[in-house]
Structure 1
């Protein structure tokens, strides 16, 4: 009900791990957000502290993130903030997680080529060839959830 919603701008810090669960697929990755500030005396921008978040994305968002995002990619992530505390090795630790509602590449830092994913079971009002000929836009592709090979970063 009274959830804290945040929008984070930063970089993917780890590979996206994707797995299927009984309630649907989930993607998980670490996200680094570094503050920037203008230093007037040097007339330059300087990096401040970096905060790390664990981002969780469920169902189609998770599958699409796993198929689209790599380490170092600049992203904008919007979602619900969760703070949790755990005791590990006799020490109390605090973790900051974000349950993503939306995410995408940060287009202030580069370009991207978007591919629409057709939903399984969705009906169309017109056949694919008619849609392309009328709009000049390529038809959507259907992507299966990524395999383990697709999730492993290639050196």
Structure 2
């Protein structure tokens, strides 16, 4: 597949719009990407040109994007770049869209709290529900001797 994959860092410019046609959930929003450069004359960082992309998300990514994103949020978007040229009334317009594969908040510019979405009910997707494994190390039982644990007697006082 000769697709142009991009990773873009910018700010959400419009509130995500959600649709649910027969083909499945879809969401879109505009992303503003502004280049920055060091201006030696001003001795400061300066904003350069701003590019705008229309970001398209599908299925679960669309649902999660609408629930998570707001105007002004700094985000990273990874996806397939699609450049289109349209002619209306003799005027040619070029637009750049990104079919998103992944969207996330830019943690270099703030914090986020991750929440997992619900999983499908057992039987609906053909998968059996598995219990979440316990990731905590259990406390050792003092009644059970362990080869790794060294029992020490108190030092004799002389």
**TM-score, normalized by length of structure 2?**
0.78
Distance in 1 (alpha carbons) for counterparts of 2:119 and 2:91: 45
Q: Which residue of 2 aligns with 1:29?
A: 29
Structure number with bigger Rg: 2
Does structure 1 residue 91 correspond to structure 2 residue 91? yes
Q: Which residue of 1 aligns with 2:15?
A: 15
Q: Which residue of 2 aligns with 1:77?
A: 77
Distance in 1 (alpha carbons) for counterparts of 2:128 and 2:82: 36
| Bigger mean CA deviation after superposition, 86-95 or 53-62 | 86-95
Q: Which residue of 2 aligns with 1:41?
A: 41
Q: Moved runs in structure 1, 4+ residues, more than 4 A?
A: none
SS of residue in 2 equivalent to 1:21: coil
1:27-85 CA-to-partner distances (Å, cap 9, x unmatched) read: 00110000000112322110000000000000000110001001111000000000111
Give, in angstroms, the shift of residue 123 of structure 1.
3.4
Larger helix proportion of the pair: 1
Q: Which residue of 2 aligns with 1:125?
A: 130
What stretches of structure 1 of length at least 5 have no aligned partner? Answer: 137-155
What stretches of structure 2 of length at least 5 have no aligned partner? Answer: 122-126, 137-158
Distance in 2 (alpha carbons) for counterparts of 1:45 and 1:74: 18
Distance in 2 (alpha carbons) for counterparts of 1:123 and 1:32: 42
**TM-score, normalized by length of structure 1?**
0.79
Give, in angstroms, the shift of residue 135 of structure 1.
4.3
Q: What is the RMSD of the two structures over their aligned residues, measured on CA atoms?
A: 1.6
Count matched residues: 131
